Amino acid sequence: MQQQVWRFMGFVSAVIGLLCYSLSSSFNHLFGSWNSLKIFLYLCFSFIICFITLFAKLWQFSSSVLFKARLSVLVLIATSVYSFFYDKAMNAKPDAYILISCVAFAVMSFSLSKQTHFGFEVDLLYFFLGCIILQLMKINLLLAFVGSGFSYFLTILRSSSLLEFSELQDQDHLVIQVDSSIDDALIMSQFMACISKLKNQNEFIVPRVQRHVNLFQAKEFLIRNNLLIDSLPLEIISDLQETVKVMVAAGFEKECCHIYSSCCRGLLEECLRLEELDLKEEEKVLDIMMQRWMNACYVALGILFPSERKLCQRVFFGVSPAADLSVMVVCWEFTIGLLNYANDLATGSCSSNHLRCSLRVFHTLPGLISMFDSVFSNHHSASLKNEAIEIRKRLGEAIRVIFMEMENHIFHDMVPKVIPHDRIDLVTYLVENCFNIVLEYTDTLEQIFKDYPIPMVGDREGTSSILSIQMDRIMELLQNNLEAKSKNYTDPAFGYVFLMNNYNYILHMATCGLETNLGSDWIKKHTTKLQQNLEHYQRTWDKVLDILKLDSNESMTPLAATESMKENLRLFNQKFKQICSIQTTWFVFNEQLREEIKISIGKMLLAAYENFIGRFQTLVGKDAYEYNEYVMFDIEALLNNLFLGKQNG
Question: Closest Cα to residue 570, out of 602, 547, 604?
Answer: 547
Q: What is the rounded distance in angstroms from the CA atom of residue 362 to the CA atom of residue 369?
A: 11
The residues, ordered by sequence, that sit 6+ positions from 445 with a Cβ below 8 Å of its Cβ are 359, 399, 438, 467
Residue 175 is predicted with a pLDDT of 34
Closest listed residue to residue 524, CA positions, set 538, 539, 503? 503
Angle separating helix axes 466-486 and 426-440, nearest 10 degrees:
170
Is residue 437 within 8 A of residue 420, CB to CB? The reply is no
pLDDT classification of 539: cutoffs 50, 70, 90: very high
More confident of the two residues 538 and 65: 538
Q: Whole-structure pTM over 0.75, yes or no?
A: no
526 phi and psi, to 5 degrees?
-80, -20
- Which conformational region is residue 128 in: left (phi greater than 0), alpha (psi within -120 to 50 degrees), or beta? alpha
Least confident of 50-64, 295-309, 467-481: 50-64
Are 97 and 161 contacting, i.e. CB atoms less than 8 angstroms apart? no
Per-residue model confidence as pLDDT tens digits over 423-440: 677 788 778 877 778 778
Strand partners, 587: 644
pLDDT tier, 217 (very low <50, low <70, confident <90, very high otherwise)? low
- Residue 214: which of 289, 284, 277, 308 has the closest Cα? 289
Question: Domains of the chain by range and CATH?
Answer: 1-166 (no CATH), 183-375 (1.20.1280.170), 403-537 (no CATH), 540-641 (1.20.1280.170)
> Considering the chain, what percentage of its residues have pLDDT values greater than 70?
77
| Each residue's pLDDT tens digit, 571-616 | 988 999 999 999 898 888 888 999 999 999 999 899 888 888 888 7
For residue 358, report the phi and psi dihedrals to the nearest 5 degrees.
Answer: -65, -40
pLDDT score, position 535: 92
DSSP 8-state class, residue 144: H
Q: Are 619 and 559 in contact (CB under 8 A)?
A: no
Residue 36: what pLDDT? 84
Per-residue pLDDT tens digits for 355-365: 888 888 888 88
